[in-house]
Amino acid sequence: MSTPAEIKACCAASYGNDAVALVLGESYHPGGPALTRKLAERLRLHSGQRVADIATGPGATARLLAAEYDVTVDGVDLGQSTVERATAATGEAGLAAKVRFHLGDAERIPLPDNAFDAVVCECAFCTFPDKATAAAEFARILRPGGRVGITDVTIAEGGLPEELGTLAAWVACIADARPLAEYAAILERAGLRVVHTETHDAAIARMIDEIDARLRVLRMTASARLAEAGVDVEAVLRYVALAREAVADGLIGYALLVAERRASERVFAG
Ligand SMILES: C[S@@+](CC[C@H](N)C(=O)[O-])C[C@H]1O[C@@H](n2cnc3c(N)ncnc32)[C@H](O)[C@@H]1O
């Protein structure tokens, strides 16, 4: 059994790995930019607002929100190389004045209290070992009335088959995923009122198919590079097949949640 610190470090290191970028492509979450836009609409983002993107990865969401919704964005990620990659890509996109990145942990966000109109967190809340503390941190940095928007992996109430509970499964955002109702309850306990939920199970099925297809091409074109990066393609393909089966059986899905910080409440982080 891994400790929370080991899980977080493994997750950050895996997503900072160049080979992962090859396998995942441009988007690190199911639904891609289309689902990010849907989330932005549900958050009612508009020009001049201040947004925090927690577990921002290479920063695609942060850049999209700044470019299309004219907001400023502070992205936070636990991976040093991920933050460096996000910063470089944002400079190349000419968005450095509107988007900046910070190295930090979602359970201890290096951003001030009551400062943000919106917090977004895509495909990452499920990996945080202490979800209650992360939710309290979202509430702390939001201004009263501000909104948090999460898109994430969900699981059925009965849980997952044992083989999907490994450390690799954790990194793949599955092992510690929760039912949608449980995410909602965690946010509510942190002083956030859930105002909207919707399911997007087809998005995760599509992402699994895309990863499978990319892996099969990479196996032929970049096997040495993947091996060098420590990626066991055959093992990942077996794992992808298991995940696809679990999605087809309705055990794994994907959902969008929006919650609002209650206007009157003072919120303290754990
Ligand atoms: C699946 S990727 C999602 C990236 C991005 N949100 C997106 O949708 O494209 C998960 C990201 O969460 C980051 N992460 C994992 N645990 C974290 C933590 N405790 N605090 C901050 N970032 C974390 C990883 O480094 C990785 O970049």
- 246-263 pLDDT, tens digit per residue, is 899 999 999 999 999 988
Please tell me the predicted confidence (pLDDT) of residue 162.
77
Is the CB of 106 inside a 6 Å radius of any atom of ligand 1? Answer: yes
Indicate whether 101 pLDDT > 80: yes
Which domains, from first to last, does the chain contain? 4-202+250-260 (3.40.50.150)
Mean pLDDT (whole number) for 211-237: 86
Is the CB of 57 inside a 6 Å radius of any atom of ligand 1? Answer: yes
The pLDDT-based confidence of 150 (bands split at 50, 70, 90) is: very high
**SS3 annotation, 5-36:** HHHHHHHHHHHHCHHHHHHHCCCCCCCHHHHH
Residue 32 CA from chain centroid, whole number: 11
Give the atom of ligand 1 at the shortest distance from the alpha carbon of 129. 19
Please tell me the predicted confidence (pLDDT) of residue 171.
63
Closest CA to 95 of 69, 119, 76, 125: 69
State in Å: Cα 257 to ligand 1 middle. Answer: 17
Contact by Cβ (8 Å): 208, 253? no
SS3 54: strand
Please tell me the predicted confidence (pLDDT) of residue 270.
41
Give the atom of ligand 1 at the shortest distance from the alpha carbon of 28. 9
* Residue pointed to by tokens 């939920």: 197
Mean pLDDT (whole number) for 220-237: 84
Is the CB of 23 inside a 6 Å radius of any atom of ligand 1? Answer: no
**Which tops the pLDDT comparison, 210 or 99?**
99
The pLDDT-based confidence of 13 (bands split at 50, 70, 90) is: confident
Is the CB of 218 inside a 6 Å radius of any atom of ligand 1? Answer: no
State in Å: Cα 12 to ligand 1 middle. Answer: 7
Indicate whether 26 pLDDT > 50: yes
CA–CA gap between residue 173 and residue 134 (Å, rounded): 16
State in Å: Cα 264 to ligand 1 middle. Answer: 31
Indicate whether 265 pLDDT > 60: no
Contact by Cβ (8 Å): 244, 202? no
Indicate whether 172 pLDDT > 70: no
Contact by Cβ (8 Å): 128, 152? no
User: For a pocket test of ligand 1, which of 77, 81, 150, 207 has the largest count of ligand atoms closer than 8 A to its C-beta?
Assistant: 77
Please tell me the predicted confidence (pLDDT) of residue 264.
64
Closest CA to 260 of 137, 176, 138, 166: 138
The pLDDT-based confidence of 130 (bands split at 50, 70, 90) is: very high
Give the atom of ligand 1 at the shortest distance from the alpha carbon of 82. 27
Is the CB of 128 inside a 6 Å radius of any atom of ligand 1? Answer: yes
Query: Which residues share a beta bridge with 151?
Result: 122, 256
Please tell me the predicted confidence (pLDDT) of residue 15.
77
| pLDDT mean across residues, the chain | 90
The pLDDT-based confidence of 269 (bands split at 50, 70, 90) is: very low
